[in-house]
Structure 1
Amino acid sequence: MTSALDRRTDYRITFVVLLLGVASFSLLQSMVNPVLPTIARELETDQATATWVLTAYLLSASVFTPIIGRVGDKVGKEKMLVFALSALAVGSLVAALAPSIGVLIAARAVQGIGGGVLPLTFGIIRDEFPREKVAGAVGVSGALLAVGGGIGLVLAGPLVDALSYHWLFWLPMIITVLAAVAAAVLVPESPERTPGRINVGSALLLSAWLVALLLGVSQGHSWGWGSVEVVALFVAAAVLLPVWVLAEARSADPLVDMKMMRIPTVWTVNLVALLFGMGMYSMFAFLPAFLQVPEAAGYGFGASVTESGLLLLPQTVATFLAGLLSGRLAGRYGSKPLLFVGAALTALGTLGLVLAHDQVWQVVVETTILGFAFGLAFAAMSNLVVEAVPQSQTGVASGMNANIRTVGGAIGSAVLATVVTSGARPDGIPVEAGYTHGFAVLVGTATLAAIVALFVPVVRARTHVVPGPQAEAEAELAAAR
C-alpha cells in the first residue's frame, strides 16, 4: 500500500510554495534601492559605501543563480530549493539585525544565494506539472520576478516610514521561512537527474569572470571608467570569459553545456534577455529618482519615497495581469509573439517618457505600458528557454537566462547613471536632458530586443522531430547524456 508520504503533492500546492519563494527573492531585489540614503544615515556611513549593499547582492546572485540551477539538475531540485530559501532567510535575518554596514553587506551576499530559486522553480514546474499547465505556470513565475521588483518599490517607503528599514528584511525573511518549511514538507523531489560530478573548476571560472565584469560595470561610474581598477577588471573579464567557454567545451562534465547554449532558441532569447534587462532594471533604479526630483528643478514632481512607489503601483499591477494572461496568450499565439510585443511595448513606453513627462498622468500611463510589457516579456523568455532545452538542462538554462538579464541590468544601470549625471547641476540634481537622453538610450536597447525577438526560432513540441540546427543541437545533447 502506498503511504501518504509516497504520493506526489498536488501541483497546485507546489505552485503556491514556489511562488512564495520567487516573491521573497524578487522583493529583496528592489526594496533596498529607494532607501539607501536612510540606511547610510542609520549605519553612519557614506553613500558610496552604502551602494555595496546593492553590489554585494548583485554579484552573489549572478554567481549562484546558474550554479545552483545546475546543481539542482544533478542532485535534486527540491533539496537545492530548500537550501536556496534557507540561505535567503538566514541572510535576511542577519541583515535585519546588522549592527554595521559591513555586516549588512555580508548578509546581502548571503541573500544572493537565493537567486537559485528562479531556475529551480522552472525546473520543478516542468517536472511536476501537467504538460498543458507548464507554459502558464512558468509565465506567472517569470513575471512575478518583475512584479516583486515593482512591489518592492511600492512597499519600501511605507515600511520605513511606519516601522524602520529593518523591516525591509524582516518581511522577506518571514515569507522565506514559510516557503522553506513548505518546500521541505510539500514539494516532491524531482525525478529528473543529470548524471556526473559537479565541475568545481568551471564554477570558479564562471564566478571569476562574472565578478570581474559586474564589479567593473557597477563601480565604473564612481571609480572612474578609465581608472586602473576598472580597466583591470574589464581586462580580467575579457581573458577569463573565453577561458571558461573553452574549459566548458572540453569538459566531460560541464557546469554549463556549451552545446545547449548554442541552441538557436537559447542564444537568441539570451540576447533579448541582455537587451531587455538593460531597460527593465534601469527603470526600476531611475524612475523613482526621476519622480523624486524637486519641482524647483524645472521638472520632476518632488515625490517622497512613499509617493513615488504609489505612482508606480499601476505599473506593478499591469505586470501582474500580464503574467496571469501570458499562459493563455502563449497557448493561443505562442511565446515568440509575446516576446516581440513585450519588447516593442517597452520601446513605446520608454519613448513616451522621452517625449512627454511633464504631467503625472503621462508618466503613470507610460509606466503602466512598461509594466504590461515587462510581464509579457519575462513570461515569454522563460517559456521559450524552458521549451528549447532537454528536461535535465532546465535549471542551468533558465539560470543562465536569468543571469544574463542581471548582467544586462548592471550594464544598463551603469550606462544610464553615466548619461543621467553627465550634466548635473551644482546642487547635484541631474538636468532634465540627462534623464531624457538616458531614456532615449533605453528606447534603442528595447528596439534592438524587439528586432532580435523576430528571429527567435520556435520549438513547437519536444516530442516531435524538428529538422535543422535546433534538432541537431538537441540530438548532440541527448547523445552527450
Structure 2
Amino acid sequence: MAGTHQRTDYRVTFVVLCAGVAAFSLLQSMVNPVLPTIEAALDTDQATVTWVLTAYLLSASVCTPIIGRIGDKVGKERMLVFALSALAVGSLLAALAPSIGVLIVARAIQGIGGGVLPLTFGIIRDEFPRDKVAGAVGTSAALLAVGGGFGLVLAGPIVDALSYHWLFWLPMIMTVLAALAAHRYVPESPERTPGRINVTSALLMSTWLVTLLLAVSQGHSWGWASPVTVGLFAATAVALPVWVWAEARSDSPLIDMRMMRIPTVWTVNLVALLFGMGMYSMFAFLPQFLQTPELTGYGFGATVTQSGLLLLPQTVATFLAGVFSGRLAVRFGSKAVLVAGAGLTSIGTLGLVVAHDALWLVVAETTLLGLAFGLAFAALSNLIVDAVPQSQTGVASGMNANIRTVGGALGSAVLASVVTANARPDGLPVEAGYTNGFTVLVVTSALAALVAVFVPVVKARTHVVAGPQADAEADAEAEAAAVASAVRP
C-alpha cells in the first residue's frame, strides 16, 4: 500500500502517472470535433453547446494550481487519487447525461482532474533518481500534447463506430484503473509544505481566472464591446491586483509571490503564455482548416475522421520529441531545448502561411509543429521543476500549466476573430482569414523563442539519490538561492 516502508519502483509509478495524464489530455480534445453531434443529440444550440468546452476550461484553470498546492501540503498521492476520482465521476456523469445542462456540470467536474498535471511533476521529483527526472517530466509533459492530438484522431472513429457517449466511457475506464493503481502503487509524498490552505486567496484567484477566461472564450460570440464582456474584463482588472496584493501580504499564500518573481519562473511563464497561444490555437483551427470544403479554393474537404488521421504524424512527432527531450536537456540544457521548440513552432507556422495549397505540405508543416510542441512542452516543465524548491513543485508547475491554458484561450479568441473577420457569402471564412490568423501565431511563436533566449539558466542539482528522499541540504540551498534571486534588485 502507499505509504509503506517498501516504496514502489519508480518505473511502476511512472506508468500509473502517465495513464492519468493521458486520460485527462484525451478529455481536453476529444469533445471538440464532435460538438455538432452533441448539439443535435441533446437538442440544443451552438451557443449553449460551446459551454461543454468552456465549463471544462474554467474548472481546470481554477483547480489545477489549487490542487497542486494542496498536494504540496497534505500529500501528492492522496490528491492524485482525488483528482483521478473526480475525472472518473465527471466522465461517468457525462456518458449518462440526459441533457446539455447535466453534460456541462459533468465537464466542470472533469476539470478538477487538471490537478493530475502538477501532482505528476511533483511525484516524479519526489520519487525518481535525479538523473531520471528530466526525461520523466519531459515524457509526461509531452503526453499532454500527445493526448490532445490523439483526441482529435480518435474522436471521429469512436463516434462513427459507437456513439459520442464513448468519448466519456473510454477515458472513465482508464481513469478508474489509474486511480486504483495510484492508491495501490504510488508512494505518499516525503515532502510536505507546512501551513494552512488560504481559502481567501483561492477565491480571489478563482475570481480573476474565471472572469478573464469567460470574457476571452465567449467574447467572440457575445461581442467584444458588449456590456457583459467589458464588465468581465473590468472585474479581472480589479480582482487580479487585489489577489497579488493579498498573496504578497499573506503569511500562508496559495501562490508564493517570491517564487513567482524568481527570474527563471516568470520568464518561463511568459514563454508558456505565448507558446500556449500558438499550440492550443493550432489544435482548434487546423482541423477546421482541413475540413473546409474544396469549393472554397483552399480547403481540402476532409471529414472529422480524415482530418484527425492527417494530424496523426503531428501527434507521433510530439510523442517522440517528448521521449527524447530528457536526453537532449541533459546534453544541451532545457533552455536550449525550449528555444529550439519555440523557434521550430515559428518556422512551422510560417510554412502554413506561405505554403498551404497542397495536402502533403500541410502534413509536413504540422509534423514539424508536433516536433516543436513536444520539445517545448517538456522543456517548460523541466525548467519550472528545476527552478523552485521541492516543496513548491506542485503549485509552480500547476501555475505554469494554467498560464499555458490562459494563453491558449487568448490565442483561440484572437484567431477566431481574425479568421472570421471576412466571410464568403456561404458563411465560410475566406482564405486570407486563415493566412492572417497563422501570421499572428508566427509572431507569438517568434516572441516565445525570443523570451526563451533570455531565460536564466538554473544550475540543476546533479547528485543522484539511491532512494526517493532528496538531499535536504541541497533543497535548503536551492530554496535560499531561489528567494535571494527573487528579491535581488
TM interval, shorter chain, is over 0.9
The whole-number CA distance in structure 2 between the counterparts of 1:4 and 1:227 is 53
Per the TM alignment, residue 36 of structure 1 is displaced from its structure 2 partner at its CA by: 0.5
Answering whether residue 169 of structure 2 is matched by residue 135 of structure 1, we say no
Counterpart residue type for residue 5 of structure 2 = D
* Cα pair 2:3 2:187 within 8 Å, conserved: no
Change (3 A) 1:275 1:470: farther
Matches within 5 A, 1:153-168: 153-168=152-167
* Cα pair 2:389 2:482 within 8 Å, conserved: no
Q: Tell me the residue number matched to 2:422.
A: 423
* Cα pair 2:2 2:186 within 8 Å, conserved: no
* Cα pair 2:262 2:485 within 8 Å, conserved: no
Identity score, percent = 79
Q: Tell me the residue number matched to 2:212.
A: 213
Answering whether residue 456 of structure 2 is matched by residue 447 of structure 1, we say no
Per the TM alignment, residue 83 of structure 1 is displaced from its structure 2 partner at its CA by: 0.2
TM-score (norm 2): 0.95
* Cα pair 1:390 1:474 within 8 Å, conserved: no
Answering whether residue 483 of structure 2 is matched by residue 474 of structure 1, we say yes
Q: Tell me the residue number matched to 1:49.
A: 48
The whole-number CA distance in structure 1 between the counterparts of 2:188 and 2:219 is 43
Per the TM alignment, residue 321 of structure 1 is displaced from its structure 2 partner at its CA by: 0.3
Q: Tell me the residue number matched to 2:269.
A: 270
Q: Tell me the residue number matched to 1:88.
A: 87
TM-score (norm 1): 0.97
Counterpart residue type for residue 21 of structure 2 = V
Matches within 5 A, 1:339-358: 339-358=338-357
Structure 2, unpaired ranges of 5+: 463-472
Q: Tell me the residue number matched to 2:331.
A: 332
Q: Secondary structure at the match of 2:420?
A: helix
The whole-number CA distance in structure 2 between the counterparts of 1:465 and 1:140 is 25
Per the TM alignment, residue 461 of structure 1 is displaced from its structure 2 partner at its CA by: 2.6
* Cα pair 1:265 1:470 within 8 Å, conserved: no
Q: Tell me the residue number matched to 2:458.
A: 459
Moved over 2 A (4+): 2-6, 461-466, 469-478
* Cα pair 1:343 1:450 within 8 Å, conserved: yes
Q: Tell me the residue number matched to 2:76.
A: 77
Counterpart residue type for residue 14 of structure 1 = T
Per the TM alignment, residue 23 of structure 1 is displaced from its structure 2 partner at its CA by: 0.2
* Cα pair 1:72 1:80 within 8 Å, conserved: yes
Render the CA deviation track for 1:154-177: whole Å, top value 9, x for unaligned.
000000000000111111101000
Q: Larger deviation: 456-465 or 422-431?
A: 456-465
Q: Tell me the residue number matched to 2:192.
A: 193
Q: Tell me the residue number matched to 1:68.
A: 67
Per the TM alignment, residue 14 of structure 1 is displaced from its structure 2 partner at its CA by: 0.1
Change (3 A) 1:4 1:257: closer
The whole-number CA distance in structure 1 between the counterparts of 2:79 and 2:62 is 15
Render the CA deviation track for 1:251-308: whole Å, top value 9, x for unaligned.
0000000000000000000000000000000000000000000000111100000000
Answering whether residue 106 of structure 2 is matched by residue 97 of structure 1, we say no
CA-based RMSD of the aligned residues comes to 1.8
Structure 1, unpaired ranges of 5+: none
The whole-number CA distance in structure 2 between the counterparts of 1:455 and 1:166 is 46
Per the TM alignment, residue 428 of structure 1 is displaced from its structure 2 partner at its CA by: 1.5
Counterpart residue type for residue 398 of structure 1 = S
Per the TM alignment, residue 426 of structure 1 is displaced from its structure 2 partner at its CA by: 2.2
The whole-number CA distance in structure 2 between the counterparts of 1:222 and 1:86 is 34
Q: Larger deviation: 2-11 or 144-153?
A: 2-11
Render the CA deviation track for 1:16-75: whole Å, top value 9, x for unaligned.
000000000000000001110111011011111000000000000000000000000000
